[in-house]
Chains A and B, each alone.
Chain A
Amino acid sequence: MKADRKLIQDLTPEIENTSITWYITFIILFGIFATGVYGLYQQIDKGHIVTGMRDNVVWGFYIVNFIFFMGLSYSGALISGVLHLFNTGWRKPIIRIAELITIISLIIGPFFIFFCIGRLDRLYYLFLYPRIQSPITWDVIAIMTDLVGCFLYLYLSFIEDFAILRDYPDLKVAPWKKKLYKTLSLGFTGTEKQMKILNNARTVMAAMVIAIAIIVYSVLAWIFGVTLQPGWHSTIFGPYFVIAAVFSGTGLLIILMWIFRKIYHLEAYITKRHFVNVGVLLTVIAAFYGYFTFSDYLTKWYGSIKMDSILIDKLFTDYYSLFIFANYIGILLPCIIIAFPRFRTIPNITIAAVIAVTALWVNRYIIVIPTLETPFLPIQDVRPDWITYSPTWVEWSLTLAGVSVFAMLFMLVSKIAPIISISEMQEQDENELLN
């Protein structure tokens, strides 16, 4: 398989040599990661007492991060899967990033469940003594299926690129990398038959990852939805969580498009058009997401069910600023920025995406924590300092470690594989020539 030299050099800037900035960034990220490891060591050594979680707020930052990272994995399913099925032309430079977000966040997400579990040494009991009644078992099955599905989908999109890199004559990389490309390209040479098989497989997997992703996030929502707790026990939670996940995944895609465009000088490939298109997508999703949020809280607020009222009161007092940020600013501001053409610059759209993703994390926080602080029986007869939740440094360090691992994995992948699909871009070029 052949490809234009410029294309390869542009799209794989880190494969042949490693810049100093890369090393420095990586070392800093590794430092953050190491702090997290130390935090985890403390937690295992001294017990969960080192976290801010206590008998009422039994789930804290870890679960928030878990559902947040699982939500980010939606970018692959939606952007890549849906756009692939509709054969949208402009998707090509960005689908690789979207698919990588999916797989990397899917790997990181479950780790936060591991941090939350009191007996990590008994994790395998989930497989040894599984009970199908429990939504956690549904979750284990769903996440594992999702991981396999998304990994396959990502790999299928990589095969052509590995073949190109394998056949490229003067690629200055270590011999083990060349060997790796040879193995991973599975003898793909781009014959008509091979192309047909590959394309069919990708179409099937695109449809599958969309379906699996919806199941995974619904199951995640049902972990909350099936309980009787005020604020969680809601029929809207499944679809609400799905749309929230798509929202955050799309937001993160914009952020990463901006970062990669900047550091790898991909201005020629990722253009304003891409930002505007994904931005518009974000606005549409934000509208749905805002509608679900409003609908959920309106019904709780309008009625007179006591526990709902207590919860809403709490949200509008103790959690007032977080609530306003998550559910007003975080939804309306991105919409306003992207809806008006004159605000639609690349930096503005990126800022809108940063606000959207941060607000969504806060939204997850105010779904999990205030409900746990509002049990049916008022929190009494406990140590007064055990009543409210505030995260400790251990939880912060592990949260930041999750983010740093996310970045590190992206950096490592960019050392081995192109961050924009070479084969797709080449196809695009050929199409443009034909037209």
Chain B
Amino acid sequence: MKEKVENESDGASRRNFLKKVGVGVGAISVAGIAGSTILKGNAANAKSGKKIKLLSPDGKLVEVDQDDIKPAGEIVADLKTEARAGLHNRKFSMVIDLARCKNARKCVEACQEGHLLPKDHEWLKLYLLQDDNLTSKYWFPRPCFHCDKPMCVSVCPVGATFKRSDGIVLVDNQRCIGCKFCMTGCPFSARVFNWKDPEVTVPEGHVYDPETNIPALEGTVGKCVFCADKLRIGELPRCVSACPMGVIYFGDILEDTVTNGNETVRFSKLISDRAGYRYREELGTLPSVFYLPPTQRMFPVESGLEDTDESIKGRYKNAGPR
């Protein structure tokens, strides 16, 4: 949809010129044969003369004749082409402050609700890591890293998973054949499979879009989408807004700005002040998610297991040095 608008704005002056002499773009070739009759016919229903101001995706104010505005044809097809292209001139990134995380799990809940994910199918996971028995434990939220060299995209045999210009990696579950090669390809276990019918009730009129990946589909792979749908309307991802501790910063590297909803900071300064790093840099997948080491923590690590469900505690039984 937006792509079309963009093209239109690019070619707007040329087309307006053509219209002024009363020839539609499509009619040019015919005009040579049919001559003046067509010219006359076109001139009759040419213009309302009423101009409408529109903002193009790259931020320019353009003027379009009212008659030139047509409803986009196939919405589904457009959603998909757009979802594959990505937002123009953006490079999204996330910074996760490990010093603030206490396993409150609000991010997980918001993610599950926001994407209508079934139980036991979580895109966002919280790990209790300990690198060695001489080092201390820390909570480690793990979304999809949206790597710049994504192994999952390389190995996909049908192009169901793809990398966009804004850095986001998405899955089109209407294309996915469920071979699970991307799941073995991903070194960060970021992908989950729909082992059975997810049994979610989708709001009426909802159209599938890889940016939300709603509804989940049995036999296909799902994963964190960086809330691409929210980004499109200029909002923060659900996990970022939901976190009560402001653990997760999100922003655009090209703007060098990230925000956790409360404070907005320079990405480069945050990374350099707090010695930000990427998980397993040595694998060379170039993640878009950065971590700030758990120094001067706001909470003791044990507090993450207080007031949590027994079923949640059971998920960390094997936590220990490795």
Binding site for B on A (CB under 8 A): 46-49, 53-56, 58-59, 113, 116-120, 122-123, 125-126, 128-131, 133-137, 140, 223, 226-229, 232, 306, 310, 372, 375-384, 386-387
In the complex, 22 of the A-B residue pairs with CB atoms within 8 angstroms, ordered by the A residue number, are A47-B194, A47-B218, A48-B219, A59-B180, A119-B219, A125-B175, A126-B157, A129-B175, A133-B155, A134-B157, A134-B181, A136-B181, A227-B187, A229-B184, A229-B187, A376-B280, A378-B318, A380-B125, A381-B316, A383-B120, A383-B315, A384-B317
* A126 touching B154 in the complex, CB below 8 Å, given contacts A383-B120, A386-B120: no
Assess the A55–B192 pair: CB atoms within 8 A. Answer: yes
User: Which of B126, B157, B181, B187: most chain A Cβ within 10 A?
Assistant: B157
Query: Chain B contacts of A117 at CB under 8 A?
Result: 177-179, 219
Assess the B322–A310 pair: CB atoms within 8 A. Answer: yes
Total count of chain B residues near the partner, CB < 8 A: 50
Per-residue contact bits, chain B 127-148, to A (CB 8 Å; 1 contact, 0 not):
1110000000000101000000
Query: Chain A contacts of B318 at CB under 8 A?
Result: 378-380, 387
Interface membership of B220, Cβ < 8 A: yes
| Contacts A49-B195, A126-B157, A380-B318 known; 8 new A-B pairs at CB < 8 A | A47-B194, A49-B196, A54-B193, A117-B179, A118-B218, A136-B155, A228-B151, A384-B315
Assess the A381–B177 pair: CB atoms within 8 A. Answer: no
A126 to B307, CA, bound (A): 48
Interface membership of B158, Cβ < 8 A: yes
Per-residue contact bits, chain B 205-231, to A (CB 8 Å; 1 contact, 0 not):
000000000000011110000000000
Interface membership of B292, Cβ < 8 A: no
The contact of A118 among B151, B177, B187, B322, by CB within 8 Å, is B177
Interface membership of B185, Cβ < 8 A: yes
Q: Which residue of A lies closest to B119 (CB)?
A: A383
* A118 touching B183 in the complex, CB below 8 Å, given contacts A131-B158, A378-B127: no
Give, as a whole number of angstroms, the nearest-CB distance from B222 to chain A.
10
A interface secondary structure, majority: loop
A104 to B229, CA, bound (A): 49
Assess the A381–B125 pair: CB atoms within 8 A. Answer: yes
* A136 touching B157 in the complex, CB below 8 Å, given contacts A46-B196, A58-B193, A378-B127: yes
Query: Chain B contacts of A379 at CB under 8 A?
Result: 189, 318
User: Which of A46, A47, A130: most chain B Cβ within 10 A?
Assistant: A47
Interface membership of B188, Cβ < 8 A: yes
Q: Which residue of B lies closest to A135 (CB)?
A: B155
Query: Chain B contacts of A126 at CB under 8 A?
Result: 157-158, 177
Binding site for A on B (CB under 8 A): 120, 122, 125-129, 140, 142, 151, 154-159, 175-181, 183-185, 187-189, 191-197, 218-221, 280, 283, 285, 314-319, 322
Give, as a whole number of angstroms, the nearest-CB distance from B101 to chain A.
13
Query: Chain A contacts of B317 at CB under 8 A?
Result: 384
* A47 touching B178 in the complex, CB below 8 Å, given contacts A125-B158, A372-B184, A377-B127: no
Query: Chain B contacts of A377 at CB under 8 A?
Result: 127, 129, 140, 142, 188-189
Give, as a whole number of angstroms, the nearest-CB distance from B219 to chain A.
3
Give, as a whole number of angstroms, the nearest-CB distance from B293 to chain A.
17
* A380 touching B156 in the complex, CB below 8 Å, given contacts A49-B196, A228-B151, A228-B283: no
Query: Chain A contacts of B176 at CB under 8 A?
Result: 118-119, 122
A428 to B319, CA, bound (A): 68
Assess the B319–A378 pair: CB atoms within 8 A. Answer: yes
Query: Chain B contacts of A232 at CB under 8 A?
Result: 184
Give, as a whole number of angstroms, the nearest-CB distance from B145 to chain A.
11
Query: Chain B contacts of A125 at CB under 8 A?
Result: 158, 175, 177
A54 to B120, CA, bound (A): 10
The contact of A119 among B128, B157, B195, B220, by CB within 8 Å, is B220
Assess the A131–B157 pair: CB atoms within 8 A. Answer: yes
Assess the B195–A131 pair: CB atoms within 8 A. Answer: no
Give, as a whole number of angstroms, the nearest-CB distance from B106 to chain A.
15
